[in-house]
Amino acid sequence: MFNSLSDSLENTFKKLRGHGKISEKNISDALREVRLSLLEADVEFSIAKDFINKVKEKALGETVMKSIKPGEQIVKIFHDELTELLGGDQVPLDLNPPARILMVGLNGAGKTTTSAKLAMRLKKEGRRPLLIACDLYRPAAIEQLGTLGAQIDVPVYKPDASETNLVKVAKDALKWAEDQNGTVLIFDTAGRQEIDEKLIEELKDLHKFLDPKETLLVADAATGQQAVSVANHFDEAVGITGIVLTKLDGDARGGAALSMRGVTGKPIKYIGEGEKLENFSEFHPERMAGRILDMGDVVSMVEQVADKIDEEKAMKSAKRMQEGKFDFNDFLDQMAMIKNLGPLDGLLGMLPGMKKLKKQLPADALNTDKFKHMEAIVLSMTPKERERPEIIKGTRRKRIAKGSGTTIIEVNRLLKQFGEMRKMMRSKGKMKQMMKQMGGMGDMKDLLGGLGGMGGGKGGKGLPF
């Protein structure tokens, strides 16, 4: 997401930084490139034009022109204006009672899954959500919502298959909800491949009856230029209060995120960045602007890690590392935690400068499928071998390779790098040095390169996890 736009902006900033002094011509030339990049990223024309004009006005200001580092000043201007374009401040849901949320959008945008994701998030926040299936055209959607509700232990209202009156379904659902002790009702509605009048009229009637506190438009981030007309149409029909962008983990150009907020004036409240139900988070304009400009989003990364990591296990492993007692059992625990974090590509993309760094890594350095090979090797060891890997000699290595479906070369590589890591840990001075290096971007390349080396790639030395 936003990769092409990020690359273009980085090239523009690089050129500007190369000039000792910024002139009006420098800025105009640079902004011309940015404007083209925005349009190529499917940002709506008027939005791109207004954005460029605002940046240009500030970039030509006396403070910037006389600045010691005008290139850096312009980057800040871009960040501030992008933040403003994306909404400025994060806007929370209105969950004052009666808390009713109406989910609308086209087919394929992910309304049903998003409804469940939202319910899961609200449940974690201490609320008692209820899911209500209002898609009377797709029985599969009703069953899907029921399945997802069961996974997260949230009650789901499913109408009779013969029911065709949407308002009656809503009435029956409200009666059902009275006995469920819920605090937030989430209504998953039907969509179409294209907006039609029948769909709009049904939504209008449902909206009028429910009078929901929130009407959220669920939109696929890959919608492109169509995003503007879709957002406008739904907003005019039912008055959307916010937007949920799905599939931000894909290779969409990202223009929808910039256009929909700018055209409707309605905030983006949540984003979905994966198929798993936990891949759902609040939208923070300032953080997203940082990601687009490759400044990173460390706060969101820490929040995601904290939510998925077992702190007690992590502290235990850290202590064993410091004491030099780390063995392959601890290694398995680390592997489980890493897999639970999801794709490393998306997570590490939140670190400053990471987009540039990833281009220098081996092609498969962030491929977590390689962890399966390492895990298979360790699982093929006996409990004694995991505790004392130094006893794993020739015949044992052959047995482990055969049992894990790998080669002796891969087994040897894992044992060698694990041995090197343990030696480093046993030296307090080296351990401190290693931890210091992990905090630096330059050495992170070596760390991630090690992932490539562990899986048979061409990465350099690094930790085997």
Q: Cα separations (Å) of 188 from 15, 134, 135, 201, 209?
A: 48, 5, 7, 16, 15
- Does the annotation list 407 as a binding residue? no
110 is in an annotated binding site: yes
Q: Is 188 annotated as a binding residue?
A: yes
Per the rule left: phi > 0, alpha: psi between -120 and 50, beta: everything else, 309 is beta
112 labeled binding residue: yes
Structure tokens at 9: 């902006």
Measured CA to CA, the distance from residue 455 to residue 166 in angstroms comes to 54
Q: What is the DSSP annotation of 374-423?
A: HHHHHHTS-HHHHH-GGG--HHHHHHHHHHHT--HHHHHHHHHHHHHHHH
252 a known binding residue?
no
Residue 246, marked binder = yes
CB 389 within 8 A of CB 328: yes
Strand partners for 106: none
Beta carbons within 10 angstroms of residue 369's beta carbon: 8
According to the annotation, is 109 in a ligand binding site?
yes
| Residues paired with 185 in a beta bridge | 100, 130
113 annotated as a binding-site residue:
no
Q: How far, in Å, CA of 141 to CA of 212, rounded?
A: 22
192 is in an annotated binding site: yes
| Residue 297 labeled ligand binder | no
Q: Is 293 one of the annotated binding-site residues?
A: no
Q: Is 199 annotated as a binding residue?
A: no
Angle (CA) 228 234 240, round 5°: 100
63 annotated to bind ligand: no
CA atoms within 13 A on the CB side of 86: 26
From residue 266, how far is each of 66, 89, 90, 332 by CA, in Å? 37, 12, 12, 46
Pairing label, strands 214-220, 129-134:
unpaired
Judge whether 339 is annotated as a binding position: no
12 is in an annotated binding site: no
- Alpha-carbon distance 146 to 123, whole Å? 16
Q: Which residue type, as a one-letter code, is found at position 380? A: S
Distance CA 324, CA 27 (A): 55
Is 106 known as a binding-site position? yes
**Is 111 labelled a binding residue?**
yes
Residues that constitute the known binding site: 105-112, 188-192, 246-249
What residues form the annotated binding site for GTP? 105-112, 188-192, 246-249
